[in-house]
Chains A and B, each alone.
Chain A
Amino acid sequence: MTAPPTSAATAPLLALRDVRVRIRTARGTITPVDGVSLDVHRGEVLALVGESGCGKSLTALTILRLLEPPARIEAGSSIRFEGTELLALDERALRAVRGRRIAMVFQEPMTALNPVHTAGAQVAEVVRAHERVSRREAMDRAVAMLATVGIPDPAVRATQYPHELSGGMRQRVMLAIALVLDPALLVADEPTTALDVTIQAQLLDLLREAQRARGASMLLITHDLGVVAEMAQRVAVMYAGQVVEEAPVGALFAAPLHPYTEGLLAAMPRAGTVRRELATIPGTVPPPEAWPTACRFADRCPYAWQRCRTEAPPLHDAGDGRRARCHLVEEPARRADRHAPAAAGTA
């Protein structure tokens, strides 16, 4: 068996093992993140892909332990970062990691900035929360960072409030906040979803440049496979709280192993192909309280057979750094038997 080339040299920067999040609700306990294991290596961009409600944003919040009751990280979960078990840290030690070693970029630049502080003050605030520097020095660093993320006239912009800035500008400010302390890992949760397409492209370029120039790693959470192709080296696909497929980007796009990934790719518009109707995956992601006990995708899967409804597939290792949670890895011959999924009739 060959190990993935990136992990051969060093231990991963971030390693999630069997992470489970439970939420107690009035209608019973749900497990929206159910046994997720992921590695992010140094200098690597790992994309975490999935539909809304598959648990990808929750996974991001789990890494920095930002979940609040009634959500709980189950015992037996492990999140190691730079050799430290994050789940064992106390609040104080955790704060030292947040913002300084791991920084988050949020989806909504409209609401993720505090409306009562100026852009410069918000960048400076992170510096002052972590380092003993004067107000003045923090502000100087903030202005320099605003310049780095491509904000024209940074000294002026630094004195403006969020409502005086455009959406793209605000997202750049968010990026400046995330990058100002030179974190080893960026967790970007749908960083460009709220922006229009031209600004999206600019910001993705900026994000990639910043990540490369600083040698940082990135966990990029997105539902947009176009963004994945452009930004990431590896992809993990999540479905119903589990990682269902993990692969290098090229391999995944060329030949997806999991039927869900196949469906996602078929649903993506491509340039250069004859215009036809885009495929859709029948049915919807079931809510966490209604997840099937065997394969969670079986009802929507065009290959599903008896085994899929009785036996939960493990995350099979398919070699070349690829893994897939599907019985097809063991019985590839079944790929020939494509039929209408069970959910097609009911959806």
Chain B
Amino acid sequence: MTTSVTPLGDVRVVALEAPRPRSGPARLLAAPGTRLALGALLTIAMCVLVLPLVLPHAPHEQLDLATRALASPRAAHPFGTDAVARDVLARVVAGGRVSLAVAAASVLLASALGTAWGLAAGLAGARIDALLMRLVDAGLAVPRVLLLLVVLSLPREPSLVLLVLALGATGWFGVARLVRTEVRRLRDADWVLAARALGTSRRRLAWRQLLPHVLAPVLVTAALGMGNVIVLEAGLSWLGVGVQPPRASWGNIIRDGTDLLQAAPWISLAPGACLVLVVLCCTVLADGLRDALAARELPRP
């Protein structure tokens, strides 16, 4: 008997196709949680933009005090009414506009300030860098709420613009530190040396070569910061130094309801629920963004 060799006749070659590199948005939307969060945020944004145009009541409109004050949720008032007979739904929607706009504007401001500061410090020499970062440390050392309380209680009635400026000006320290650390890390990369060897100016290096790299972590912190600032603004409004009545914001509607929490819990409940939902969505979105952006980068040697 001889040993037989099995012929390899039936062996098929299976080409393992590498997964095609997908675009950033496609990667972001691949996670169901992120999809849900993004969908919810967009829905809320659409609601606060469109609903005021179609709702029967204006946010400041006082209905009949005798019959409509503190009405519990019903068909005419899905979220009920408050102590002075205003429709809570109309107020939550209007307040959402203010809360979201203030948060978005101040986060944008903080991100821009922090990125510029961090890039400058990261590219500067040791001494300037130390100076710039000690200033950031000082900013981080002072409790943000305390700083905001002082600034916002100076004028008799803080305007929305002042609120945005104050929130933005106290919110960029963390971003600056993050960007500066990232730039310091990237500075030693071969491609930075290569860019310098090719005659790229410092400004061009920061703008065209480094900025795309630091934008990813900045975007993630911005999404997280968004949730943070909404809560902060609500807290300030609750304390009476944020958005001033009669203009509604989620924070001051919640405050309006706290005295009546047992008699009319719906007043605080509706804006509170919106707040929690938005903050949650921002966090989930930030998480999804981080995953999607991390996948873009090559593994570092």
Contact = CB atoms under 8 A, between A and B. Distances in A.
Contacts of B212: 116-117
A113 B194 CA distance: 8
Contacts of A115: 191, 297-298
Interface in A60-102: 64, 66, 69, 95-100
Contacts of A112: 190-191, 193-194
Contacts of A69: 125-126
Contacts of B201: 95, 129
Most buried by A among B126, B198, B212, B213: B198
B199 A97 contact: yes
A129 B193 contact: no
A177 interface: yes
A144 to B, nearest CB: 18
Nearest to B201: A95
Interface residues on A, range: 20 to 34
A100 B193 CA distance: 16
Interface in A99-148: 99-100, 103-104, 106, 108, 110-117, 125-126, 129-130
Interface in B173-218: 189-191, 193-201, 204, 208-209, 212-213
B21 interface: yes
A66 B196 contact: yes
Interface string A144-186: 0000000000000000001110000000001001000000000
Contacts of B246: none
Contacts, number: 68
Contacts of A130: 199
A66 B193 contact: yes
A126 B190 contact: no
B301 interface: yes
Interface in A37-70: 64, 66, 69
B197 A111 contact: no
B199 A111 contact: no
Contacts of B194: 104, 106, 112-113, 174, 177
B199 A114 contact: no
Contact of A98 (B125, B199, B301): B199
Interface residues on B, range: 20 to 34
Nearest to A187: B197
Given A69-B125, A129-B204, A113 B198 contact: no
Contact of A99 (B197, B209, B298): B197
A96 B199 CA distance: 6
Contact of B197 (A64, A125, A162): A64
A106 B192 CA distance: 12
Contacts of A104: 194, 197-198
A100 B298 contact: no
B128 to A, nearest CB: 13
B190 A129 contact: no
Nearest to B205: A129
Contacts of A99: 197-200
A116 B213 contact: yes
Given A95-B199, A98-B196, A114 B191 contact: yes
Given A99-B200, A126-B198, A129-B199, 5 more contacts: A95-B199, A99-B197, A103-B198, A106-B194, A112-B194
Top 10 nearest A-B pairs by Cβ distance? A99-B198, A99-B199, A98-B199, A111-B190, A104-B197, A116-B212, A112-B190, A95-B199, A114-B191, A112-B194
Interface of A: 64, 66, 69, 95-100, 103-104, 106, 108, 110-117, 125-126, 129-130, 162-164, 174, 177
26 contacts: A64-B197, A66-B193, A66-B196, A96-B199, A98-B199, A100-B199, A103-B198, A104-B194, A104-B197, A106-B190, A106-B193, A110-B301, A111-B189, A112-B191, A112-B193, A113-B194, A114-B209, A115-B191, A115-B297, A117-B212, A126-B198, A126-B199, A129-B198, A129-B204, A163-B298, A164-B21
